[in-house]
Amino acid sequence: MIGRTNAVSKPGVELSLVVSVTSGAAVTATKGSKTVNGTAAGGSCVLSLPEAGTWSVKATLNGQTSDTKSVSVVDSYAVALTFFSATITVNVDSGASVTLKKGGTTIATKTSNGTAVFTVTETGAYTVTATKNGQTTSGSVNVVSSTTSYSLTLSFVSSTLNNNEWSVIKSVSDAGQGANYWSIGDRKAVTLNGTVGKLSLSNVTTYAFIIGFNHNASVEGANRIHFQLAKTALSGGTDVCFCDNQYGPDSGWSSPGAGYFVMNASNTNSGGWKSSQMRTNICGTSLSSYSGTIIAVIPAALRAVLKSVTKYTDNTANGGGSTASYVTATTDYFFLLSEFEVFGSISYGNTNEKNKQAQYAYYSAGNSKIKYKHNGTSTAALWWLRSPGASASSSFVVVYTDGTVNYYIAHYSLGFAPGFCV
């Protein structure tokens, strides 16, 4: 801001330039080869200029340079200079040591009391690192304006999977570091609310468990932690699959129709996994339209970090045998596991599925394949796999009650044990 004073330039009388600036700042005015210096006191500095004309004015304080003003002096003038100042607020655990750096140079280090607040004096990319109890977490802030307040939330990663928010689990997954913190089989609580298919769930807490880190990444996508539902407890407990009130593998049983945990409402596997009602109506294929699917009943925090995964399956089937071209890709958020992903071999599905699949580490490690009804944990249940039977037009592969592989008619309602990725 520049404003003219009432002083008048007279022969032999120097012109005054009043600079409003932080006390202690060194003020410099230059015009060509002429330089006038002064030091601000009481919030201003008065410079006596030897001649009229256009003067360039700036100030420095503690290694920082203010903005520069150009003043055309014909009488005495006043000008205000400002130093760049922006605030970065770091939200992080109390007691953490927080360091702010720019270009590898440490700006400041503070101890958090829930937040650590830094003032920066120039634009640019800043890195924030927090350490506590041997753990380190970091993030970055790009400062572009002194009129903006910047904030950054940092979270430490717990080696106990269940102690981490889903957002933290995602950040570790994004960095491809999951296996450095957790192990295959580790569990995370998931509370389910709502209706999936015909099954209503109200505040049902179950536990997702890790079945693979960066599983089959070259095909399915990198930086993903693969989970499956579900176990009944954080440790020990029972492996379960979800069963609706029409669960029934008996040979004389009839189809309950769409919406139940059937692969298809009719006795067919035509269209394979891709076209199955289990995929479209129960697992869901969209993060924007998912009413009635498993995506609708998971917590919002988990829904927000779901990652799509590319799965290959026989998507033609209809008794076509092991035809290589039938094995194609789908993009899924929740999915059923395939025969090869569970067993590491193929007995009933299209044998070409294995060319695009890998057995999950959880199952290759020898963990039990037997699952029990979620609403009757003393009863072992058959649970669906997404692989269509290759030699028949009516079946999909299942895991039998004794943990062996088998196949069942597509319109039976069996156990639902989906996977997902974060």
Split at pLDDT 50, 70, 90, the class of 10 is: very low
Report how far residue 35's alpha carbon sits from residue 55's, in angstroms, rounded to the nearest whole number: 9
Checking if the pLDDT of 302 tops 90, the result is yes
Whether 310 and 362 share a structural domain: yes
* Helical spans, DSSP H, in 298-385: 300-303, 339-343, 361-364
DSSP assignment of 273-296, as one string? HHH-HIIIIII-S-SS--TTSHHH
Spatial CB neighbours of 236, under 8 Å, sequence gap ≥ 6: none
342 and 222 share one domain: yes
The torsion region of residue 403 among left (phi > 0), alpha (psi -120 to 50) and beta comes to left
Residue type, 272: G
Q: Are residues 294 and 339 in the same domain?
A: yes
3-state class (DSSP) for residue 343: helix
Write the pLDDT tens digit of every residue in 216-236: 999 999 999 999 999 999 999
Give the confidence band of 7 by pLDDT, cuts at 50, 70, 90.
very low
Q: Are residues 273 and 404 in the same domain?
A: yes
Other CB atoms within a 10 A radius of the CB of residue 243 amount to 25
DSSP 209-259: EEEEESTTHHHH-SS-EEEEEEESSSSS--BEEB--TT----TT-----TT
Through-space distance between the first and last CA atoms of the chain, rounded to whole angstroms: 53
Residues 95 and 32 in one domain: no
Averaged confidence pLDDT in the chain: 92
Residues 206 and 107 in one domain: no
| Domain end point (choices 106, 131, 153) | 153
Report the half-sphere exposure of 192 (CA within 13 A, side-chain side).
22
Cis peptide bond upstream of 230, omega within 30 = yes
Same domain, 360 and 262: yes
Q: Which residue has the tokens 């430490």?
A: 156
pLDDT in tens, 309-360: 999 999 999 988 999 999 999 999 999 999 999 999 999 999 999 999 999 9
Q: How far apart are CA 414 and CA 398, in angstroms?
A: 9
Specify the 3-state DSSP secondary structure of 387: strand
Q: What is the pLDDT of residue 155?
A: 86
Higher pLDDT, 3 or 411: 411
| b/e sequence 33-48, b meaning 16+ C-beta within 10 Å | eeebebebeeebbebe
Percent share of the chain, pLDDT over 70: 96
pLDDT digits (tens, 9 = 90+) for 102-136: 998 999 999 999 999 999 988 999 999 999 888 88
Residues 235 and 110 in one domain: no
Structural domain boundaries, residue 249: 160-422
Q: Which of 153, 175, 192 is the last residue of a domain?
A: 153
Are both 347 and 295 inside the same structural domain? yes
Whether residues 92 and 64 fall in one domain: no
Tokens matching residue 45: 């500095």
Strands (E) located in 278-412? 309-314, 327-332, 334-335, 371-373, 376-381, 383-388, 395-399, 405-409
Question: What is residue 168's DSSP assignment?
Answer: H
Domain count, the chain: 3
Give yes or no: residues 33 and 117 share one domain.
Answer: no
Identify whether residues 217 and 203 lie together within a single domain. yes
Cα–Cα distance for residue pair 140/143, rounded to 1 Å: 10
Final residue of a domain: which of 153, 170, 199? Answer: 153
- Whether residue 382 is predicted with pLDDT greater than 80 in this model: the reply is yes
Read off the CATH number of the domain in which 7 is found.
2.60.40.10
Q: Are 127 and 143 in contact (CB under 8 A)?
A: no
Say yes or no to pLDDT of 25 above 90: yes
